[in-house]
Structure 1
Amino acid sequence: MRRRNRSTDRWRLADDAGSAAIEFIFAGLILLVPVVYLVVALGQIQGQALGVEAGARHIARTVAAASGTADADARADAVLDTVVEEYGLDRSRVELSIACAETAASCPAAGATLTVTVRTAVSLPLVPPVLGLDRLAVVPVEASAVQKVSRFWRDG
């Protein structure tokens, strides 16, 4: 039977004293900073995606229910302004397109199927404007909505 020497056991344990805290802090920073950045970036992208989706859906509904072209334009602009303000979209990056599925002389037209597409680009957070990185670090976001135009639509 072998006897343990308690004095050498104490020295072996004393060599690692305090290193767990340093390892935890170092590993925590290496792992935590990218995870926090990812959560913030994905949160911004999700917020903008919800904004363009809401914008496309509401614009399609309001244009389809409008009484005419002038009313549709005014409604679309009002809804887009509200969505931009509410969701914090960059107005200079928001693109709106309205198209009809059927080949009509004018779009929208009575009974036509209307497709509204809203596009924007989300800038990633904390990207410096060095060497144009801020222009490259963007995520495009797009949403479309389809709505049948009222058969009571009046052109003009």
Structure 2
Amino acid sequence: MRRWKRWIDTLSREQAGSASLEFISAGVLLLVPLVYLVLALGALQAGSFAVEGAARQAARVFVEAGDQASAESRAQQAVQFALADHGLESAGSTVTVVCSPDPSRCLTRSGIVTVLVSVTVPMPFVPQALSVAAPLAVPMEASATQQVSRFAQVP
């Protein structure tokens, strides 16, 4: 019995102080990917909110405009502001406007205007020069539909 006790005491003296080092190394190895996951999900959620808000605002200002040219200009401005509010650049975004019942005339009374906004959301802390199989950016798109007022003053 004494032999076992002496053996356990020897082992415990050799292991003294290494638990904190093991805890710190395992903690760092687990914490770094977890922090990056939180940052990546935050960037994707911000991109999702940005593209949805941009589409909704673009559709709203489009149907309130007086003519086609100012409607398109206002929609582009609304998209730029909405993306900038969430920290995204509007240079890579695309805005598509689809109108019904007459695709050539969007601002007809009681017409339906659908705005589709597409943007690419870059992943955080990933250099563009890196060539890996993982995506460096995630494409997102959203659409919003608004109806032109039946009392609109159409030119």
Q: Same fold (TM over 0.5)?
A: yes
What TM-score does the superposition give when structure 1 sets the normalisation length?
Answer: 0.83
The Cα shift of 1:84 comes to 2.9
The Cα shift of 1:58 comes to 0.9
Residue 118 (structure 2) pairs with residue 138 (structure 1): no
Give, in whole Å, the separation in 2 of the partners of 1:48 and 1:20: 42
The Cα shift of 1:108 comes to 3.9
Checking the alignment, whether the CA contact within 8 Å between 2:62 and 2:75 is kept in structure 1 is yes
Residue 58 (structure 2) pairs with residue 34 (structure 1): no
* Other-structure match for 1:120: 119
Bigger shift: 40-49 or 77-86? 77-86
Give 5+ residue unaligned stretches, structure 2: none
Checking the alignment, whether the CA contact within 8 Å between 1:110 and 1:152 is kept in structure 2 is yes
Aligned residues between the structures: 154
Give 5+ residue unaligned stretches, structure 1: none
Question: Are residues 32 and 114 of structure 1, via their aligned partners in 2, closer, same or farther at CA, if it must alter by over 3 Å?
Answer: same
Give, in whole Å, the separation in 2 of the partners of 1:131 and 1:75: 37
Runs of 4+ in 1 over 4 A off after TM superposition: 2-6
Residue 93 (structure 2) pairs with residue 94 (structure 1): yes
Letter in 1 for 2:110: G
What TM-score does the superposition give when structure 2 sets the normalisation length?
Answer: 0.83
Give, in whole Å, the separation in 1 of the partners of 2:2 and 2:131: 69
Checking the alignment, whether the CA contact within 8 Å between 2:95 and 2:117 is kept in structure 1 is yes
Letter in 2 for 1:63: F
Checking the alignment, whether the CA contact within 8 Å between 1:98 and 1:115 is kept in structure 2 is yes
The Cα shift of 1:79 comes to 1.4
Deviations 1:107-129 (A, max 9, x none): 24321221111110011122223
The Cα shift of 1:155 comes to 4.7
Q: State the secondary structure of the residue aligned to 1:50.
A: helix
Residue 67 (structure 2) pairs with residue 68 (structure 1): yes
Residue 91 (structure 2) pairs with residue 82 (structure 1): no
The Cα shift of 1:4 comes to 7.6
* Other-structure match for 2:56: 57
Bigger shift: 17-26 or 5-14? 5-14
Deviations 1:129-154 (A, max 9, x none): 33555x95110111111111122345
Q: State the secondary structure of the residue aligned to 1:109.
A: coil
Give, in whole Å, the separation in 1 of the partners of 2:86 and 2:28: 32
Give, in whole Å, the separation in 1 of the partners of 2:5 and 2:60: 81
The Cα shift of 1:43 comes to 0.9
Sequence identity of aligned pairs in percent? Answer: 37
Aligned CA-pair RMSD: 2.4
The Cα shift of 1:24 comes to 1.2
